[in-house]
Amino acid sequence: MGWLDNSVALITGGGSGLGRALVERFIKEGANVGVLESNAQRAEELAAAFGKRVTVTVGDVTRYADNVGAVEQTIAKFGRLDTFVANAGIFDFFQALAQYEGDALAAAFDELMAVNVKGGLLGARAALPELVKTGGNIIFTISNAGFYPGGGGPVYTASKHAMVGLVRQLAHELAPKVRVNGVAPGGMKTGLSGLNATGTAGQNLSQIETLDDMLIGITPLRMSPKPEQYCAPYVLLASKENSAPTTGTIINTDGGLGARGIVNVCGGESL
């Protein structure tokens, strides 16, 4: 018996990194899972790995029609929707304000906010009618950057602070019918990619060779967690039996950064 037996979740960005780990953990806990994934190859890999327990829609989280399509495909396959996980995201690779030239800052802001914030909001709106039917829930993937400086550059940090606000606002708006919560992981080596606007779209966090050492150095727990180690709080929040009174809450799973804050080891150009 799992904590999510007979439930259905829809996870954005479920083809790699934390999203892929969430798909696997939710299935292990008894759920069937719909995925909205932008990469067709990763979508095929998900279907091959999880078979009838998953249905994958290839699309763009910044397009409302694609979010609606993912909801409709999930309902068509599994008949209901209990949890929507807004997980898809991109990263600014710690680029500091002074490093942006000309219109690059505006372009980077628009590109990153469209995925990290607008994508989650559009997905929540698309999923809402089905979640109302089941008394379901929404979970946003935040970040330590939603609470402390140094977890990204100003654009990424702004996006994650905005998502903290979304959790609180939507928890207020959607109660008592739909619970809304978040999980704020610390860093991890994943395929989280950068921005076209800054020429980093082809880069990802797993390529930073010093990332593990950096994370061990800044976290009180002295660890560099793997994506699967961040999944349990999502399961808890998705479980109606175990989280019925919980809404407007963000679980910080950042290795204890809240006890100390982030030491600025990532740098960024100083003035």
Kind of pairing between the strands at 54-58 and 83-86? unpaired
Question: Residue 201: what are its φ and ψ, rounded to 5°?
Answer: -60, -25
Beta bridge partners of 57: 36
First to last CA, the chain: 57
CB within 8 Å of 23: residues ≥ 6 apart: 11, 14, 33, 35, 46, 50, 54
Q: What DSSP designation does 148 have? A: S
Catalytic sites, residue numbers: 156
H helical segments located in the chain: 17-28, 40-50, 64-78, 104-113, 119-134, 154-174, 211-218, 232-238, 240-243
Residue 167 Cα distances to 75, 104, 164, 231, 269, angstroms:
24, 29, 5, 18, 32
Question: What does the DSSP assignment read for 53-118?
Answer: GEEEEE--TT-HHHHHHHHHHHHHHHS---EEEE------TT--GGG--TTHHHHHHHHHHIIIII
Contact of 217 with 262, CB cutoff 8 Å: no
| SS3 call for 33 | strand
| Amino acid identity for residue 211 in this structure | L
